[in-house]
């Protein structure tokens, strides 16, 4: 085929063109893979800031709530099921809790029951934010364990019932350090408050709302589902999560077009260099009757082949760099960094098109050359 002979004749220039496509594909694959890893990492790190949404009984005394850290009123545990069935989109990780402050061994502590499963609207699957506790086990807060010399494996008696300490929690520097955690049904039974909770903790999702403050939309949504509830949002955590997510998305959205433009200029430059180098040859071809269509097809075939080779090699290199160096950057979600094989298909489709598009102006210049003017230059 003529274009293969042309490539053999101009191998260095062709290889430089292929290098441009390889660079473009590799960087795009690297950017997209790293963007996904960055989004996963950001989501996990901001998620680990903790629950930012609290749903409590509407009649709660807010002064008492902030002093105690929880509402002294209760509501039905069915509230969680209603929130899940509503398939709302502004919250996730719904976790029912029950709190009760008591004096235990001359220390004021808070007993906290936590539902073993986190409920998700729309039936989505998410990794758990909080621990699940076995029925006959307890988790003991740092300050309680320190003050009373409690260790993991010890047996403790609470309200007349014996429990084994499964875990002593690390110091958190918050009121959680004086909490003792139980499985929710266990604590409900212990307190004779079956089917009752005083709070639903959740994580709100701001990605479907405009601006940085979705609280009013969220309250409106939840109050239609549960009229007798009050919604409290930790805005510091909520806004930080959303701004971090938007920052990461914007960063890559700005960089990717810049990379593509630079690579397009590279490929166009290689094609133009080849055109200028072969002006005399193109002039002769035009003089002996070779039409513009055949000359343009020759250059475009060369660009398509460069695109196909660049797609394969670029995807391989981009994926290799992502898998090799990504875990060093994104340590929390390192195991989720894998080659995105759907990008290979898109590389084979878009890289040849990208190469042809980048070659369009040089090719148009080549076929516009007038044989008499070109041959006169020699």
Tens digit of each residue's pLDDT (9 = 90 or more) over 273-295: 666 665 655 666 666 666 677 77
Under the banding of pLDDT at 50, 70 and 90, the label for residue 155 is very high
- The answer to whether the beta carbons of residues 337 and 274 sit under 8 Å apart is no
Token pair listed for 148? 């009373």
- Each residue of 246-274: pLDDT tens digit? 666 676 677 777 777 776 676 666 666 66
| pLDDT value of position 83 | 76
- Each residue of 126-148: pLDDT tens digit? 555 567 788 889 999 999 999 99
Question: Higher pLDDT residue, 67 or 209?
Answer: 67
Residues 6+ apart with CB under 8 A from 21: 263, 267, 306, 307, 309, 310, 311, 314, 351, 354, 355
CB atoms within 10 A of CB 375: 14
Asked if residue 47 has pLDDT above 60, the reply is no
Under the banding of pLDDT at 50, 70 and 90, the label for residue 178 is very high
Rounded Cα gap, residues 95 and 93, in angstroms: 6
| pLDDT value of position 368 | 72
Percent of the chain with pLDDT over 70: 63
Under the banding of pLDDT at 50, 70 and 90, the label for residue 208 is very low
Rounded Cα gap, residues 305 and 352, in angstroms: 7
Rounded Cα gap, residues 195 and 243, in angstroms: 38
Asked if residue 17 has pLDDT above 80, the reply is no
| pLDDT value of position 134 | 87
Under the banding of pLDDT at 50, 70 and 90, the label for residue 308 is confident
| pLDDT value of position 217 | 67
Question: Higher pLDDT residue, 329 or 181?
Answer: 181
Asked if residue 301 has pLDDT above 80, the reply is no
- Each residue of 101-115: pLDDT tens digit? 999 998 899 999 988
CB atoms within 10 A of CB 207: 13
Residues 6+ apart with CB under 8 A from 20: 263, 266, 267, 270, 306, 310, 358
């Amino acid at each position: 085929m003529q274009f293969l002979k042309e490539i053999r004749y101009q191998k260095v220039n062709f290889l430089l063109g292929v290098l441009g496509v390889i660079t473009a594909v590799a960087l795009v694959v690297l950017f997209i893979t790293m963007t996904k890893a960055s989004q996963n990492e950001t989501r996990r790190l901001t998620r680990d800031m903790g629950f930012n949404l609290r749903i409590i009984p509407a009649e709660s005394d807010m002064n008492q709530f902030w002093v105690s850290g929880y509402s002294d009123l209760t509501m039905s545990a069915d509230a969680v099921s209603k929130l899940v069935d509503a398939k709302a989109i502004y919250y996730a990780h719904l976790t029912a809790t029950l709190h009760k402050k008591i004096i235990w061994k001359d220390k004021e502590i808070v007993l906290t029951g936590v539902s073993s499963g986190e409920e998700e609207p729309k039936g989505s699957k998410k990794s758990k934010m909080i621990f699940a506790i076995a029925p006959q086990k307890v988790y003991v807060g740092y300050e309680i364990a320190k003050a009373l010399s409690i260790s993991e494996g010890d047996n403790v008696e609470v309200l007349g019932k014996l429990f084994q300490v499964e875990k002593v929690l690390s110091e958190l520097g918050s009121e959680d350090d004086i909490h003792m955690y139980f499985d929710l049904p266990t604590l409900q039974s212990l307190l004779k408050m079956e089917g009752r909770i005083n709070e639903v903790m959740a994580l709100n999702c701001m990605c479907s709302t405009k601006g940085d403050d979705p609280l009013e939309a969220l309250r409106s949504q939840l109050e239609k589902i549960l009229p007798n509830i009050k919604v409290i949002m930790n805005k510091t955590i909520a806004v930080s999560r959303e701004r971090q997510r938007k920052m990461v998305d914007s960063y890559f959205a700005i960089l990717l077009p810049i990379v593509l433009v630079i690579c397009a200029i590279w490929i166009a430059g290689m094609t133009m260099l080849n055109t200028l180098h072969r002006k005399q040859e193109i002039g002769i071809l035009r003089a002996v009757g070779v039409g513009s269509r055949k000359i343009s097809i020759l250059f475009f075939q060369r660009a398509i082949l460069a695109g196909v080779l660049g797609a394969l090699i670029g995807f391989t290199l981009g994926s290799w760099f992502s898998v090799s160096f990504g875990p060093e950057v994104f340590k929390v979600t390192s195991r989720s960094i894998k080659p995105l094989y759907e990008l290979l298909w898109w590389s084979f489709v878009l890289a040849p098109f990208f190469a042809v598009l980048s070659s369009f102006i040089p090719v148009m210049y080549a076929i516009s050359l007038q044989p008499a003017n070109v041959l006169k230059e020699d």
